[in-house]
Amino acid sequence: MVSTIQTLPTEVVHLIAAGEVIDSLASVVRELVENSIDAGATRIVVSIWPEQWRVRVTDNGCGMNLEDLQRAASAHSTSKIRICADLWKITSLGFRGEALHSLTTLADLEILSRPAPSVEGGDCGWRVVYGYAGEAVHVEAAAIAPGTVVTVSNLFGNCLGRRQGLPSTAQQMKAVQTTIQQIALCHPYIAWQVWQNDREWFTISPASTMGQLIPQILHQVRASDLQELQVEIPEKESQANDSKLNLVIGLPDRASRHRPDWLRVAVNGRMVKTSELEQTILGAFHRTLPRDRYPICCLHLLIHPGHINWNRNPAKTEIYLNDVNYWQQQISQAIEQALRINSATVKEAVHTSRVGKLIKAAEEKSNYNINPSQPAEPNQTSHYLTAVGQVNNTYIVAEHPGGLWLVEQHIAHERVLYEQLCDNWQIVPVEPPIILYQLSPAQVSQLQRIGLDIEPFGEQLWAVRSLPALLQQRDDCADAILELSWGGDLQTAQVAVACRSAIRNGIPLSLPEMQTLLNDWQRTRNPRTCPHGRPIYLSLEESALARFFRRHWVIGKSHGI
């Protein structure tokens, strides 16, 4: 009998394994750049010649001595881990010892490298060309600066079918750009230069935080449209270091997207796909943006490597994370904190102004990190805005140390009421009942669904015996209940009730009334937008006013002050 099961030739096994790691130009860039970052590089130059299927990455990292260089591309060879236990202590991006080896299977590979002059072997650089199994086939001295230059050419030259399966060059280059930008966001201190066909394609300058880097990538967004927050998260198992959460959000009244393409989650230096955490982010922005708009939110968790299993897929884009619920909670709290209006938010907006500098100096000694487990005292935030007047019986003029805001009274109040309703949806009895005429069965069951007590009251008549507490005192109760009967879930009903009950525009308010509204509004969780996503306030910052009135010019030149 002839057996149909055969062991695959080693060559085929290698080709299959290599294809798991390297499947596109972008994956070559990702693997080489990650090696540069693991080598401690602060400058990385990426050059791509897509038609030649060639990629070169040059870095100023720690380099390799000749011995390591000769070994770098052999199968399963890494300097980053040694034993099984190390898999739970991974602090580098690479650890599988597979990228360079896979590249020798799928392309031509040569590396030039030289350690720093102070290190053994740093007096000279070497060039090594590797063979199909990752062995060094050609070695020669090379005059280069400390660091490493890796060149991959003729990618997929020995399996042309691979090339045909890939998208167009333009799409592949887009993927390369996205890959580099994602990595840059996780490592903002790196200077990037990216070339395509011997021409400079784009650069990314180093920044001290992820938030400061984003405007270079998302050109329509300015730094002032973003709010950045760094939170220390206490480690549950005591001995380990605290974890950190770096968060950047687009302020919902200033920046959002029409696709969910800027929900980014990074863990310990790498963007990962985690639908659980993305859902948490979307949840935290609920009812702050118009329908069909998505938040900008970049999150970087720096946590003890013992909580993460990176060994989920070869590209490491998915992970297993211990105790996801805990992280979800921390993320919601941090986003909630970032969405509030508080001294930190205002400080951000005025940091260039004179007032901003004063605030900064006063706060210099205090800790900038905001700990969400100790939310700011309500008093501390509630006196931040002072009502000074009303314009058009619609806008409250509010002064704060960094400038002034115009707050639209109706939607600010709507935001206050909406959050009160979400926290405390109370249905109270009414006597006498409210009589409604000609309801469809769908309307009746809708009212029952949101908790109202309703029963037939004769021919085409219904009696409503309970209603949301906020509507109790109103003389347009019947209209309000009809509105609620038109459908939607409980939240839609809450939005409708808030909208109907909020102070209308066009109504004069006294200063104390305005102040109370400002105080209540500042304490809301999402003060920037109303539950339909409209912006609530317009800010005129002191710095912008000073610029407009050319204050620096007058003071400096005319009076010599």
> What is the nearest approach in angstroms of Mg ion to the Cβ of residue 99?
4
Q: Which does residue 356 touch among Mg ion, ligand ADP, none (CB within 5 to 8 A, set by kind)?
A: none
Q: Which does residue 64 touch among Mg ion, ligand ADP, none (CB within 5 to 8 A, set by kind)?
A: ligand ADP
CA nearest 211: which of 197, 222, 219? Answer: 222
Q: Which does residue 128 touch among Mg ion, ligand ADP, none (CB within 5 to 8 A, set by kind)?
A: none
Residue nearest to Mg ion (CB): 94
Closer CB to ligand ADP, 105 or 246, in the complex:
105
Closer CB to ligand ADP, 102 or 353, in the complex:
102
CB 398 within 8 A of CB 388: yes
Closer CB to Mg ion, 57 or 184, in the complex:
57
Residue 205 vs residues 38, 211, 214, 264, 321: alpha-carbon distances, Å: 19, 13, 11, 20, 32
CB 57 within 8 A of CB 33: yes
Task: For the chain, report the end-to-end CA distance as a whole number of angstroms.
Answer: 102
Q: At what angle do helices 490-501 and 477-485 cross, to 10 degrees?
A: 150
Closer CB to ligand ADP, 78 or 390, in the complex:
78
27 by DSSP, 3-state: which? helix
Q: Which does residue 281 touch among Mg ion, ligand ADP, none (CB within 5 to 8 A, set by kind)?
A: none
CB 400 within 8 A of CB 346: yes
Q: Which does residue 408 touch among Mg ion, ligand ADP, none (CB within 5 to 8 A, set by kind)?
A: none
Strands 297-302 and 263-267 turn out to be: parallel
d(CA 124, CA 65): 9
Residue nearest to ligand ADP (CB): 94
Closer CB to ligand ADP, 78 or 274, in the complex:
78
Positive/negative CA dihedral, 172, 175, 177, 183: negative
> What is the nearest approach in angstroms of ligand ADP to the Cβ of residue 312?
15
Closer CB to ligand ADP, 193 or 332, in the complex:
193
Identify the helix (H) or strand (E) that includes residue 204: strand 199-204
List own/partner pairs for 124-130 with CB under 8 A and 24 or more apart: 125/63, 126/66, 126/69, 128/69, 128/70, 128/72, 130/73, 130/100, 130/104
> What is the nearest approach in angstroms of Mg ion to the Cβ of residue 71?
14
Closer CB to ligand ADP, 39 or 207, in the complex:
39
Sites of contact with ligand ADP (CB under 6 A): 31, 35-36, 39, 59, 61-64, 72, 77-80, 94-101, 148
> What is the nearest approach in angstroms of ligand ADP to the Cβ of residue 202?
21
> What is the nearest approach in angstroms of Mg ion to the Cβ of residue 534?
48
Closer CB to ligand ADP, 112 or 481, in the complex:
112
d(CA 280, CA 378): 25
DSSP string computed for 499-542: HHHSPPTT----HHHHHHHHHHHHTSS-TTB-TTS-B-EEEEEH
Closer CB to ligand ADP, 148 or 280, in the complex:
148
> What is the nearest approach in angstroms of ligand ADP to the Cβ of residue 308?
16
Closer CB to ligand ADP, 86 or 278, in the complex:
86
Of the ranges 94-102, 205-213, 481-489, 517-525, which one interacts with Mg ion (CB under 5 A)?
Answer: 94-102
Show contacts with Mg ion in window 18-77 (CB under 5 A): 35
67 by DSSP, 3-state: which? helix
Q: Which does residue 148 touch among ligand ADP, Mg ion, none (CB within 5 to 8 A, set by kind)?
A: ligand ADP
Strands 147-153 and 108-114 turn out to be: antiparallel
d(CA 339, CA 252): 8
314 binds Mg ion (CB under 5 A): no
Closer CB to ligand ADP, 62 or 334, in the complex:
62
d(CA 345, CA 365): 18
94 binds Mg ion (CB under 5 A): yes
d(CA 231, CA 183): 21
> What is the nearest approach in angstroms of ligand ADP to the Cβ of residue 156?
18
d(CA 454, CA 494): 18
Q: Which does residue 59 touch among Mg ion, ligand ADP, none (CB within 5 to 8 A, set by kind)?
A: ligand ADP
Verify cis geometry, omega within 30 degrees of 0, for the bond prior to 432.
yes
Q: Which does residue 78 touch among ligand ADP, Mg ion, none (CB within 5 to 8 A, set by kind)?
A: ligand ADP
Closer CB to ligand ADP, 95 or 327, in the complex:
95
> What is the nearest approach in angstroms of ligand ADP to the Cβ of residue 205?
21
Q: Which does residue 97 touch among Mg ion, ligand ADP, none (CB within 5 to 8 A, set by kind)?
A: ligand ADP
Closer CB to ligand ADP, 151 or 409, in the complex:
151
442 by DSSP, 3-state: which? helix
> What is the nearest approach in angstroms of ligand ADP to the Cβ of residue 30?
10
> What is the nearest approach in angstroms of Mg ion to the Cβ of residue 53?
20
**How many residues lie near Mg ion (CB under 5 A)?**
3
Of the ranges 91-99, 315-323, 336-344, 479-487, which one interacts with Mg ion (CB under 5 A)?
Answer: 91-99
> What is the nearest approach in angstroms of ligand ADP to the Cβ of residue 72?
4
**Which residue reads 């310990």 in tokens?**
268
Identify the helix (H) or strand (E) that includes residue 26: helix 25-38
CB 284 within 8 A of CB 336: yes
Show contacts with Mg ion in window 97-116 (CB under 5 A): 99
Q: Which does residue 497 touch among Mg ion, ligand ADP, none (CB within 5 to 8 A, set by kind)?
A: none
Max Cα-Cα span within the chain: 106
323 by DSSP, 3-state: which? coil
> What is the nearest approach in angstroms of ligand ADP to the Cβ of residue 33?
9
Q: Which does residue 104 touch among Mg ion, ligand ADP, none (CB within 5 to 8 A, set by kind)?
A: none
> What is the nearest approach in angstroms of ligand ADP to the Cβ of residue 451?
57
The residue ranges that bind Mg ion (CB under 5 A) are 35, 94, 99
